[in-house]
Structure 1
């Protein structure tokens, strides 16, 4: 029921882009990897996050020329981080409140993974299904 449990199943891989890469290169990377965002890093430091929405906004503002612009021109600079001990419900609330779909996770200042809204919803559904199965077993055992 925590982010740590999600990352245990999902794994620690985080796909990244550099601030100087073009939006086109980042979009191709996201398409190839079938993901909706990339962390923007300079070395080990996270300097932003770029989502599909950020790319769409840039294209809406600048047209096709936006694809030649650097990732740094469209990325979100204020990155919100989660912690492995965060509950699924807390993360869902945070994502809803901040209107974000991707949450990088740090432990002790070290990046350890990234969870998406899809990962969190999937875990929540699994938890509810397990609880329902437990209740069914209890009811059938009590009868």
Structure 2
């Protein structure tokens, strides 16, 4: 009997948010204080974008902009790609891979109710594999077409099994040499 793993079973419910008029310096400070790699941008309690560590590096630091003068709204990633709490984790994972993202806000209606990350996918990957119809075929081939690396947490198109973990080529090259 198949059973799905809904996003609500793995999502983080305490999402740290920031308004679009805050500075990038304030956003970076909030990320550091909370030990997180992203903030969801909200306007009137509605999620409108996301800012990640990568956004800070690619859009602020690499352009030598002054973080205390740049507004979050000018560097946030938008439109916001989201899922609902009842979305199957396998579908959420596919959305992450397709869009090359590692964080996926969870909304109900227009309300932000959580966030699911690549790390969350990794933590429930054993449950996901139980519901994947071709699970036995995956095990026998020793390769996965689309998943999340259990070492770096990155969504990758091709993973290989190494020492009981599904890892990407980059991590395999690093670990094996």
**Shared fold, TM over 0.5:** yes
Structure 2 Cα separation of the partners of residues 24 and 125 of structure 1: 38
Given that 2:89 and 2:128 are in contact with CA atoms closer than 8 Å, whether structure 1 keeps it comes out as no
Q: TM-score, normalised by structure 1?
A: 0.79
**C-alpha offsets along residues 34-71 of structure 1, whole Å, 9 cap, x if unaligned?**
11110111121212111111111123442142442010
Q: TM-score, normalised by structure 2?
A: 0.65
2:155 paired residue number: none
Give the Å deviation of 1:96: 0.7
Given that 2:90 and 2:128 are in contact with CA atoms closer than 8 Å, whether structure 1 keeps it comes out as no
- 2:95 corresponds to 1:94: yes
1:18 paired residue number: 19
Higher helix share: 1
**Number of residue pairs the alignment of both structures matches:** 126
1:77 paired residue number: 78
1:41 paired residue number: 42
SS in 2 for 1:48: strand
Match of 1:3 among 1, 7, 19: 7
Runs of 4+ residues over 3 Å off in structure 1: 125-129
In structure 1, runs of 5+ residues without a counterpart are 130-143
SS in 1 for 2:63: helix
Structure 2 Cα separation of the partners of residues 125 and 68 of structure 1: 45
Structure 1 Cα separation of the partners of residues 23 and 111 of structure 2: 26
RMSD of aligned C-alpha atoms?
1.8
In structure 2, runs of 5+ residues without a counterpart are 131-177
SS in 1 for 2:10: helix
Give the Å deviation of 1:24: 0.9
